[in-house]
Structure 1
Amino acid sequence: MKKNIAIVWGGYSSEKEVSEKSAEGIYSFIDKDKYNAYKVKIDRKSWEVEHRGNIYSIDKNDFSFTADGWTTKFDFAYITIHGTPGEDGTLQGYFDMLGIPYSNCGVLASAVTFSKFTCNHFLKSFNIKVADSVILHKNSDYSADEIVQQLGLPLFVKPNAGGSSFATYKVKSIEEIDPAIAEAFGEASDVIIESFVSGTEVTCGCYKTDKGTTVLPISEVVTHNEFFDYNAKYKGQVEEITPARISEELSQKISRETMLIYDLVNAKGIIRADYIISNDEPVLLEVNTTPGMTATSFIPQQVAAANLSMTQVLTEIIECEYYKLKK
């Protein structure tokens, strides 16, 4: 009998539209001969599933839906919500309580990695190089002069918990700091401010199943924008080169570091670690535990460069996590 797979998308943040595209990508990749795939949208207004052209409400008591007098329960959740509640551990806790296996990191790993400041300082204690940074909480006092003295200019202002470069700014003057912080607070309750690191941006995907750890070929990010912003990511203003044009020695170093990060945060499923190569050393930007999964996203590109199939990779992850929980 086929397993019922919920592809969970939506969320409460500006990344909802990106999540929808990832859900479409995952739906296209999933083996329909092996699984019944359903797209389940979660937002603040409703939880609903698309089935045979109709929309049905999800019963939150057991994560099921009823159509034509028949109740369908899900065997597995493939979470592709970028942002809360799918990337911060909230939804993971819900599925843990229901005993439903899912595709990505557990509660603790999701919560830790969702906070850029917390994750980077945790990994820094294991000698992973990260940019210098400060964190601001809502309504906390700060001095733009002191921030510049500590981090220099230019610097980056970002929501501490968020992605897709929403409300992310490269600040070149002290006058730009206050407006950038205000915009970032519009996306999250905490704001991270990071020193600028010059170099080549690369990203590396990694996943682990019962067959072992797979580190994917590294991608290089080339954009003529100020940085890898929303327009570069989603409006084609970027060149993405896989494999990256870096030395074999540096490639192996980044691969080893990504594997180490995977184990340190106790990750599950597919993650992606983003770096800046500065003076031949990788500097970690952030760990993404719910990477984009459209046909042109980095992970599908890297899977193709590794001569692997997205369908087979997703099947391995689903089967591994399903039987791990059901043992």
Structure 2
Amino acid sequence: MKKKIAIIVGGNTDEAPISLKSGKFVLKHLNKDEFDPYLVYIFRDTWFFKDENNIKYLVDRHNFTIRLSKQNILKFDCVFNAIHGTPGEDGIIQAYFYLLKIPYTGCNFHHSNLTFNKIYCLTLLKEYGINTATSFFVNKNQVFCENKILDKVGLPCFVKPNKSGSSLGVSKVYNKYQLLTSMEKAFQEDEEIFIESYLAGIELSVGVIAFNNNITVLPITEIISKNDFFDFESKYSGQSHEITPARISKKIETQIKHTAKRVCQILNLRGISRAEYIIVNDKPFFLEINTVPGFSDESIFPKQLQNAGYSLSEFFKKFIYFSIEFNASNRL
């Protein structure tokens, strides 16, 4: 019997349209002889599924089922998480499925929450000797001194929301007069932000697969943004040039793959992830990690999979069955 798969999309942020693209991409590439997939929309105020006639069926949030008719109640064997940002990337939806004992793709709620919180993630990785940029953390209710911040991080610098994706709310600051405006912009996305020193170097995106005890680093992507940095427009409006595999030496490739595996082990991740690094003087500096990477024709992760020789259909199959077996063996 075919496995019933809920591909969840949407979310509570401006990343919802990107999530919908990812979900439709997964739906397109899932083997329909193997799986019976359903695109399930999850927004703050409504959860639903729409059939081929555009008829909407609400999700029963008590048990994540859908009543298609009086006699037909749809239950799912696994959830494929394609929600970027909250609640799909910060551990909230993972905790929900954990309580319902429904298998889901990706890492568990503890590690999702840790990686989505950039301050916590950077602080932990620094303790293990992973290179990161110099940073200064500020919350919305905190009194801060602009001079003290800039004395620590220097100029230019980046202002970033702590819990946000797709570079939403991120600004590059060149002088003191831009700092306060950039911080206000970041505070619109999150009540915690951080200011990070600028690192001049080669920007790389590194995809990782962690199934059971096997960690595989995919071919590395070099990112060349046509804009001032790899912002939302660069990521989703074609304003960047992405080269896979990256034009780096074998020495740097070996170093970045070692670091990527180590980061995955330190954070105890499973499933898939994509992290961003800057190479400065032949040393990798960790920027951030994404445990629900985008899946679309423009997205980096599927291009890395294809470059490595993976069939998307076969990879999704393996990912889903790994998730089912992992959750069963760990008794959810």
What range describes the TM-score normalised by the shorter chain of this pair? over 0.9
Q: What SS does the corresponding residue of 2:17 show, helix, strand or coil?
A: helix
Q: In the alignment, what sits opposite 2:67?
A: 66
Note the alpha carbon deviations across 1:91-142, whole angstroms, 9 max, x for none.
1110000101111111111111011111011011111100111111122111
Q: What SS does the corresponding residue of 1:58 show, helix, strand or coil?
A: strand
Q: In the alignment, what sits opposite 2:267?
A: 265
Residue 63 of structure 1 and its aligned partner are, at CA, apart by 0.5
TM-score, structure 2 normalization: 0.96
Q: Give the alignment partner of residue 300 of structure 1, picking from 302, 311, 320.
A: 302
Q: In the alignment, what sits opposite 1:42?
A: 42
The equivalences for 1:89-238 within 5 A come to: 89-210=91-212, 212-238=214-240
Question: Structure 1 36/13 Cα, relative in aligned 2: closer, same or farther at 3 Å?
Answer: same
Superposition RMSD in Å:
1.1
Larger CA deviation: 44-53 vs 266-275: 44-53
CA distance in structure 2 between the partners assigned to 1:177 and 1:213 by the alignment: 40
> One-letter code of the match for 2:286?
L
Q: What SS does the corresponding residue of 1:97 show, helix, strand or coil?
A: helix
Larger CA deviation: 177-186 vs 207-216: 207-216
Q: What SS does the corresponding residue of 1:81 show, helix, strand or coil?
A: coil
Q: In the alignment, what sits opposite 2:322?
A: 320
Note the alpha carbon deviations across 1:260-313, whole angstroms, 9 max, x for none.
111111112110111011111110010111111112211111011101111111
Q: In the alignment, what sits opposite 2:20?
A: 20
Q: In the alignment, what sits opposite 2:250?
A: 248
> One-letter code of the match for 2:315?
V
CA distance in structure 1 between the partners assigned to 2:6 and 2:50 by the alignment: 10
CA distance in structure 2 between the partners assigned to 1:146 and 1:211 by the alignment: 44
**Identity of paired residues, percent?**
38
| Runs of 4+ residues deviating >4 angstroms | none
Residues 106 and 323 of structure 2 are in contact (CA less than 8 Å); yes or no, is this contact kept in structure 1?
no
Residues 161 and 189 of structure 2 are in contact (CA less than 8 Å); yes or no, is this contact kept in structure 1?
yes
Note the alpha carbon deviations across 1:145-182, whole angstroms, 9 max, x for none.
11111110000001110011111100001011111111
CA distance in structure 1 between the partners assigned to 2:77 and 2:52 by the alignment: 19
> One-letter code of the match for 2:167?
S
CA distance in structure 1 between the partners assigned to 2:83 and 2:265 by the alignment: 23
CA distance in structure 2 between the partners assigned to 1:296 and 1:89 by the alignment: 26
TM-score, structure 1 normalization: 0.97
Residues 274 and 293 of structure 2 are in contact (CA less than 8 Å); yes or no, is this contact kept in structure 1?
yes
